[in-house]
Amino acid sequence: MAKKDSSVKRTVVCYLISGGITALAGFLIYYLALPAINVHSAGFWAYLLFLGIILATAHSLTKEIILKNEISVVGKKSASWFGTAIGVTISGIALLALVIGGIASAKMFHAKTYAGIINVQEADFEKDMPETTSVTNIALMDTESARIIGNRTLGSLSQVVSQYTVNDHYSQINYQNTPKKVTILEYADFFKWIENRGNGIPGYVMVDPVGNSANYVEFSKPVKYAESGRFGDDLERKLRFSYPTKIFGGMYFEVDDSGNPYYIVSCMQAHAGLFGAMDVAEVILFNPVDGSSQIYDVKDVPSWVDIVYDGDLASEKYNWYGKLSGGFWNSVIGNKNCKMTTDDYGYIVIDDDVWYFTGVTSVTSDESNIGFIITNARTGEYRFYKVGGAEEYSAMGAAQGEVQEKGYVASFPSLVNIAGQATYIMVLKDTGGLVKLYALVNVEQYGIVATGATQAEAIAAYRKLLARNGVEGVGGENDMPLAEITVAEVRLAIMNNATIVYITAEDGTVFKGSLVEDESYMLIREGDAIAIRYDDTDIDGLKQIRSWSRK
């Protein structure tokens, strides 16, 4: 009897130890991997799969070590089988959920659901995008260039550069009706976190993608929760413990119009099967200063928020719509009316919202677009514009070809309306990633390419090319304003390897022109009476000279 009681006790100890090992391992895995406790999360089922394996393995090994030769063979096998069976069952259920749930969520079985995630309205390009004279609402600078400028800005701040680094991810926001790229500082490493966690993260970097400049901005109160925080200071861990069942999508740093920091966290929901057709259902606004947060339905998100849907998700959802509207097999075999986005996207600010721009091409086409879409990054609204022409990479190649001797590389373009013409606008960068020139390429006639050291010069040169090519609605130089002045001062400056002449009239008005376009500017002297044809496209307020003559 005593021997039987001893065997029972040892069996109980076996279960307690294997259960304890599983519980400890489960906590550590959860603490590190942070899966959502949600049946629509593949990470949740993977977590259960590992737990089942750990339980089965721990029970078998513990049984062999502790109960070896202590109970009858029958008892040992029975106890071992029961404990291992629990672990194997858990793993089996999780594995089946991953495999069967993945198959059942496939586009093959839910093509209409995937295609119906979004509604796309066909819109009028000229109506939605008024004619551009100066570009102030488009973030032409890409993230790579923003990183270079942002790092240089931080490098000039000796008090923070040794302890912090700049987060590589920049969020595109509309700050006080102006496009900006923002990113937060991070602890440089684990030891810097230990040393500085009491002080928190002091500020962020704001980049002006139009003016090619950056500023370091200090928070009124330091940030406690960050991506580089450890243990309880880790941003995602804090969010997971606050919202254990939510499936997190994008997580973007933004500041409101008063400069207060927030993380905008998208929460996803499956619409097809167990894991398929994931889309944003709710949004968490998380305050990283004090850890407070609030969750909103998508339709109720405050208007100052800019990024709810990221650009990759916006493009993916359009591709579901474009490829699957005619059914799954049509997307595989027939391809009738199937269309898709190009490989990248740009940004435009319209009515205080950030929109993604990307071209739309037929799945069987390789170098032309049938139109383009813009997607509201906050509301998820889609608009399609039927404007055929060159796809973005062809336009980028055309722009690079204009200055091929310099070896500049074009950024992914955005879109503007110039004289009713859909026009790609982009920057050309040197090998160091810095902006050197601006370029405009006509969407329908991508042989019409203009470049300039400033946006104004590029736009003015482009308008001149449109006029020369007889594009309707574009006037020639005789339609530009005329100023008759007496020259008070003439100055020269070199910008981006181009010589610029600045002519100041006696009334203080300043005109500028490029010697690359017209070397005759060198003949103008102080005191000369001249007539100037000009336009006002320059964002710095100067008037761009298009032609001149003596009075």
Instruction: Dump the DSSP string for 316-368.
Output: HHHHHHHHHTT-HHIIIII-TT-EEE-S--EEEEETTEEEEEEEEEETT-SSE
139-174 tens-digit pLDDT: 677 777 788 887 877 776 767 778 899 999 999 998
Task: Give the pLDDT confidence score for residue 46 in this predicted structure.
Answer: 96
CATH number at residue 508: 2.40.50.140
User: Are 40 and 91 found together in one domain?
Assistant: yes
**Three-state helix/strand/coil letters over 231-298:** HHHEHHHHHHHHCCCCEEEEEEEEECCCCCEEEEEEEEECCECCCECCEEEEEEEECCCCCCEEEEEH
In the beta sheet, which residues pair with residue 217?
Answer: 204
Determine the longest span between alpha carbons in the chain, in angstroms: 124
User: Are 157 and 272 found together in one domain?
Assistant: yes
Q: What global pTM score does this model have?
A: 0.81
- Domain holding 89, by residue range, is 2-104
Of 410, 439, 468, the last residue of a domain is 468
How far apart, in whole angstroms, are the C-alpha atoms of residue 314 and residue 349?
A: 16
Position 123 in a domain: no
How far apart, in whole angstroms, are the C-alpha atoms of residue 93 and residue 52?
A: 9
Q: Residue 484 carries which side chain, given as an amino acid letter?
A: E
User: Are 342 and 374 found together in one domain?
Assistant: yes
Long-range pairs of 473-480 with CB within 8 A, sequence gap ≥ 24:
473/419, 473/420, 474/419, 474/421, 477/533, 477/546, 477/547, 478/533, 480/533, 480/534, 480/535, 480/546
494 φ/ψ angles, rounded to the nearest 5 degrees:
-105, 120
Number of domains in the chain: 5
Number of helical (H) and strand (E) elements in the chain, helices listed first: 13, 27
Task: Give the pLDDT confidence score for residue 537 in this predicted structure.
Answer: 52
User: Are 195 and 214 found together in one domain?
Assistant: yes
In the beta sheet, which residues pair with residue 382?
Answer: 120, 375
Task: Give the pLDDT confidence score for residue 99 in this predicted structure.
Answer: 96
Neighbour count for residue 241 (Cβ, 10 Å): 13
- Two tokens, residue 52: 């089942």
User: Are 272 and 364 found together in one domain?
Assistant: no
**Spans of the chain, pLDDT less than 70:** 1-10, 66-81, 133-137, 139, 156, 158, 365-367, 472-479, 495-498, 516-517, 536-541
Question: What sign has the CA pseudo-torsion 153, 159, 161, 163?
Answer: negative
Neighbour count for residue 327 (Cβ, 10 Å): 14
Task: Give the pLDDT confidence score for residue 77 in this predicted structure.
Answer: 47
Position 120 in a domain: no
Instruction: Give the ranges where 34-155 is alpha helix by DSSP (H).
Output: 42-66, 73-104, 111-115, 125-128, 143-155
User: Are 450 and 513 found together in one domain?
Assistant: no
Task: Give the pLDDT confidence score for residue 539 in this predicted structure.
Answer: 45
Position 488 in a domain: yes
307 φ/ψ angles, rounded to the nearest 5 degrees:
-110, 100
User: Are 373 and 510 found together in one domain?
Assistant: no
User: Are 253 and 169 found together in one domain?
Assistant: yes
- Two tokens, residue 285: 């606004």
User: Are 295 and 249 found together in one domain?
Assistant: yes
% helix / strand / coil in the chain, to the nearest 5?
A: 35, 30, 35
How far apart, in whole angstroms, are the C-alpha atoms of residue 460 and residue 544?
A: 8
Of 413, 440, 468, the last residue of a domain is 468
User: Are 206 and 284 found together in one domain?
Assistant: yes
How far apart, in whole angstroms, are the C-alpha atoms of residue 465 and residue 470?
A: 9
Which strand (E) or helix (H) includes residue 397? Answer: helix 392-402
Position 321 in a domain: yes
Task: Give the pLDDT confidence score for residue 71 in this predicted structure.
Answer: 45
In the beta sheet, which residues pair with residue 489?
Answer: 504
User: Are 303 and 396 found together in one domain?
Assistant: no
User: Are 91 and 151 found together in one domain?
Assistant: no
58-81 tens-digit pLDDT: 888 887 776 565 544 444 444 456
Of 387, 415, 442, the last residue of a domain is 387
